Structures are given as C-alpha cells and as structure tokens.
C-alpha cells in the first residue's frame, strides 16, 4: 500500500488516539497469569498486540476480544499456562518476543518463538544472557543472539542484575521470569526505562517494591485479576503533537493520553524547542497518569538531546528529526545508538528519507544533526516496513511542497490502525 499526502495548511480539532501499545501487551500477559477475571478497556487492537493475544491463547489463556476494544480474560493463575502445540509467531513485535522469552523461561513446558525478517535481525542476547543467569534453558541462532528462540521451561533462581542498556523490554522479561523464581529478584537500571510493568504488577498485587534505585520482586505469589483502563498512546499522539507544533495556525486537543513520566520526553523536548503544549485534566487511572493535551502552533528552535534523555523519547526520535527541520538552528541527537536495532535502523532510515525531501540532516553513529529551518519538497519515500518511520514521514509530507508518496505504508497498522483517518479529520476540520 502507498500513502499519498499533500502539503496541508493547519490541523484543527479534538481527537482520541488508540490505547497504549506497551500497556496493552502487558495487560494481556499479566491478565492471563493472574487469578480471577481481568477486564481491559481501550485495548490497542493493532497487529503487534494481536500477536501477543494469539500467543497467550496458544498458551491456553482464555482471552476474548470485544467489539469496543475491550478484552475479557479468565486468568489461569501463575502455573496454569499450557504447552503450545505449535511455534508461537510474534510477527514484527519485539515487545512480544522479549516479554514472552521471560515468561516462558519459568514454565514447565517447551516452546519456540519466531518472528518476521525484522525480528530475526534484532538482538536477543540482551534477554537470553540474564535469563540464563536465572537458570533458563533458552537458545537461539548464534548462541542466543537471534530468533527463533527455543525455551525449555526450568526452575528459576532469583537474580540481582544491573541492566547494561536501558530497556523496558529486558527489564520486563526479567520481572516476568522473576515471578517464577524462588526468592527476591533485584533489578537496577542505568537510566529509568518505561515503568508500565512495575505499575501493573502493583495493581495485580505482586510482591514488588519499587524505589528510585531498584526494583525488588519476590516470586511465587499469585497475581489478582483486575480492571485495567488503558490511556491513549503518547507515542501515537506524538505525530499529531509534532504536526500541530510545526503547521502554522494549528490548534488541537488530544484526549486521555498516557502521561507516565517515563514516556513524556517528547513533550519536554518539544517544549524546550519552544512548542506550546498544555497538560489538562490530569488524573490517575489503573495506576497510570493520563491527561488531555492541547497543542498550538509555535515557532521552534533547535535543541540538544543527549544519552540521558533518550529512554524518555526513544520511539519519538525520528519525529524529533522531522520537527527539527522546521526549527531555527541546530538540533543534535547523540547517545541514541539503540535506534539502529529497532524495527529497522531508524537513524539510517529517517536521515535518508528526510534528505530526499530537502532536509539538512547528517547521520552520526549514535544519532543525527539537523540544521533548520528547511523548505521541504514532496518525494517518493520508503517506510522500511517500520510504522514509526512511515508516520514520521506522513507528518513531514504535510510540510512539503507537492505530493509525497510513502511506500509500504500498511506497516502503520502495527501500532496505529486508523492513523490516516484521524489525520484527514484534523486536516479537513
């Protein structure tokens, strides 16, 4: 599929974005191994989350997806999953494969996880290595570096571990394995990665203690099913936040967006660039903060983003590059090497496509440098089958003279089905 977009004048209107992807994955997995019923509302019905749903069903969980993005799960309890009869397919979802690697390590059965061409290139040693330290019997190509992964469930020991990279997927894999370990698992992070797992473990009554320096989890305790409301995904809202910030005359409100402080780096950095983003109606639901975000056009200036900022806006960095093309002065992003091992090499991808459209952007080993502002022109662009690259280019297209074609745009459904429709509503308000 190709997404064809033209230059737009401004964005106006009030919108909702679909539920948070990270929280949706976690709610399915924890609901399946909790005791009692879990009712999820505003679940993200996207390709990635459906992969987790299918995997949990293949593991014997009773998960039912309703029409209105609600999900009902009859929990099986900590020890109630069953050996899957076939290979578990995670599709394009890095979150699914890494989180399930942790969960499956502690089961008393054998399972295999496979994924698409992108998944088969992404680093798995980061979960395999610490899981092996816990006693997991887990294998993959190149001694566990690459999927497919095979897991023969084992009795696990608790782990004291400092993550070498700030990664919520690795942290979560270890916490899920820790639920099955006898004793206390202690995890320290170099920088705080998104903490949705810890928050959900709290409301499902796990034996967890969270402090700024470490997370302590004692295994063996049954979790309790609960009602989980999922806020709108700030990573999806980000495309409209950035677009409204750079299109003259725009004013939009995005309702009920998750504003967990481990995810709001995009708001902080855009504000630092001079954006006008107001946070209204702040409340906490299901242990996660949410708010309405009101965004108005504003003149932006360049910004410096360093290693310590990266985890708070890791998925929004391609979009920062787009905003930087319209900002006065230099934007420098460094310490973001992790971007090279996402669904595609996001540094290479965004630099090459923005260059095609006339941006002044240079690739760095661990980031990029953008000199703005630039007049952009429409082009035929590649999505690299990466949803975040495709949507970042869609925002760029709104600024570019003429027509922009984004190839293989169907990948947008990985995280944001309905993206184009919402965008068109804001354009035609």
The catalytic site residues sit at: 315
Residue span 183-202 as binding mask against ligand S3P, x where in contact by CB under 6 A, dash where not: -----------x--------
Q: Measured from the CB atom, is 95 or 326 closer to ligand S3P?
A: 95
Residue span 300-319 as binding mask against ligand S3P, x where in contact by CB under 6 A, dash where not: --------------xx----
Q: Which residues contact 359 (CB under 8 A, 6 or more apart)?
A: 321, 325, 370, 374, 376
Long-range contacts of 47-50 (CB under 8 A, 24+ apart): 47/91, 47/92, 47/93, 47/413, 47/414, 47/415, 48/21, 48/91, 48/92, 48/93, 48/95, 48/96, 48/414, 48/415, 49/21, 49/24, 49/25, 49/93
Least spacing, CB of residue 93 vs ligand S3P, in Å: 9
Q: Measured from the CB atom, is 312 or 368 closer to ligand S3P?
A: 312
Least spacing, CB of residue 181 vs ligand S3P, in Å: 20
236 binds ligand S3P (CB under 6 A): no
| Number of neighbours of residue 210 by Cβ within 10 angstroms | 14
167 binds ligand S3P (CB under 6 A): yes
Interface pick for ligand S3P out of 8, 63, 168, 336 (rule CB under 6 A): 168
Note whether 17 and 254 are within 8 A (CB). Answer: yes
Q: Classify each residue of 187-201 as buried b or exposed e, where b means 16 or more C-beta atoms within 10 Å of its C-beta.
A: bebeeebbbbbbbbb
Piece of 131-139, 164-172, 250-258, 282-290 that binds ligand S3P (CB under 6 A): 164-172
Q: Measured from the CB atom, is 111 or 167 closer to ligand S3P?
A: 167
22 binds ligand S3P (CB under 6 A): yes
Q: Measured from the CB atom, is 5 or 163 closer to ligand S3P?
A: 163
Piece of 35-43, 161-169, 179-187, 280-288 that binds ligand S3P (CB under 6 A): 161-169
Expressed in percent and rounded to 5, the helix, strand and coil fractions of the chain are 35, 30, 35
Alpha-carbon distance of 204 to 27, in angstroms, equals 10
Residue span 82-121 as binding mask against ligand S3P, x where in contact by CB under 6 A, dash where not: -------------x--------------------------
Least spacing, CB of residue 263 vs ligand S3P, in Å: 10
| Number of neighbours of residue 72 by Cβ within 10 angstroms | 15
Q: Measured from the CB atom, is 194 or 255 closer to ligand S3P?
A: 194
Alpha-carbon distance of 54 to 114, in angstroms, equals 13
Q: Measured from the CB atom, is 95 or 374 closer to ligand S3P?
A: 95
Least spacing, CB of residue 65 vs ligand S3P, in Å: 19
55 binds ligand S3P (CB under 6 A): no
Q: Which helix (H) or strand (E) holds 294?
A: strand 288-296
45 binds ligand S3P (CB under 6 A): no
Alpha-carbon distance of 96 to 152, in angstroms, equals 18
Interface pick for ligand S3P out of 38, 154, 169, 309 (rule CB under 6 A): 169
Piece of 3-11, 64-72, 100-108, 165-173 that binds ligand S3P (CB under 6 A): 165-173
Least spacing, CB of residue 366 vs ligand S3P, in Å: 15
E strands of 128-226, at which residues? 137-140, 146-152, 160-162, 184-188, 207-210, 215-218, 223-224
# of chain residues touching ligand S3P (CB under 6 A): 9
Piece of 5-13, 166-174, 222-230, 249-257 that binds ligand S3P (CB under 6 A): 166-174
Q: Measured from the CB atom, is 168 or 217 closer to ligand S3P?
A: 168
Q: Which residues contact 293 (CB under 8 A, 6 or more apart)?
A: 237, 241, 253, 254, 257, 259, 267, 277, 278, 279, 280
Q: Bridge-partner residues for 368, per DSSP?
A: 333, 363
Pairing between strand 227-229 and 403-407?
A: unpaired
Least spacing, CB of residue 377 vs ligand S3P, in Å: 31
Least spacing, CB of residue 97 vs ligand S3P, in Å: 11
**Site residues (vs ligand S3P, CB under 6 A):** 22, 95, 167-169, 172, 194, 314-315
């Amino acid at each position: 599929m190709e997404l064809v977009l033209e230059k737009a004048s401004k964005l106006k209107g009030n919108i909702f974005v679909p539920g948070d992807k990270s929280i949706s994955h976690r709610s399915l997995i924890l609901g399946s191994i909790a005791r009692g019923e879990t009712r999820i509302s505003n679940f993200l019905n996207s390709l990635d989350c459906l992969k987790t749903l299918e995997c949990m069903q293949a593991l014997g969980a009773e998960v039912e997806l309703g029409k209105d993005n609600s999900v009902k799960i009859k929990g099986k309890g900590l020890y109630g999953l069953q050996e899957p009869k076939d290979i578990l397919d995670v599709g394009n979802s890095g979150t699914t494969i890494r989180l399930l690697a942790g969960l499956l390590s502690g089961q008393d059965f054998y399972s295999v996880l496979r994924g698409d061409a992108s998944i088969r290139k992404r680093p798995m040693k980061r979960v395999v290595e610490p899981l092996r330290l816990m006693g997991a019997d887990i294998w993959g190509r190149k001694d566990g570096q690459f999927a497919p992964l095979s897991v023969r469930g084992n009795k696990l020991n608790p782990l004291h571990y400092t993550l070498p990279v700030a990664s919520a997927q690795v942290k979560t894999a270890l916490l899920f394995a820790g639920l099955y370990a006898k004793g206390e698992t202690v995890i320290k992070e170099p920088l705080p990665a998104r903490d949705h797992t810890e928050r959900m473990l709290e409301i499902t009554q796990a034996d967890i203690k969270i402090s700024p320096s470490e997370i302590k989890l004692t295994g063996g305790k049954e979790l309790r099913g609960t009602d989980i409301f999922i806020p709108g995904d700030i990573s999806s809202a980000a495309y409209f936040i950035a677009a409204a910030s750079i299109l003259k005359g725009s004013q939009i409100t995005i309702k009920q967006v998750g504003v967990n402080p481990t995810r709001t780096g995009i708001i902080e950095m855009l504000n630092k660039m001079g954006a006008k983003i107001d946070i209204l109606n702040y409340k906490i639901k299901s242990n996660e903060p949410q708010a309405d975000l009101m965004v108005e056009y504003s003149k932006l200036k360049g910004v410096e983003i360093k290693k310590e900022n990266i985890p708070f806006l890791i998925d929004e960095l391609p979009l920062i590059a787009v905003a930087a093309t319209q900002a006065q002065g230099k934007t420098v992003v460094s310490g973001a090497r992790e971007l090279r091992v996402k669904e595609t090499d996001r540094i290479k991808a965004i630099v090459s496509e923005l260059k095609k459209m006339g941006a002044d952007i240079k690739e760095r080993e661990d980031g990029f440098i953008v000199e703005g502002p630039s007049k952009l022109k429409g082009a035929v662009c590649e999505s690299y089958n990466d949803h975040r690259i495709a949507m970042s280019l869609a925002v760029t297209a709104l600024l570019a003279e003429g027509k922009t074609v984004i190839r293989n745009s169907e990948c947008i459904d990985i995280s944001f089905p309905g993206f184009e429709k919402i965008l068109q509503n804001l354009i035609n308000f």
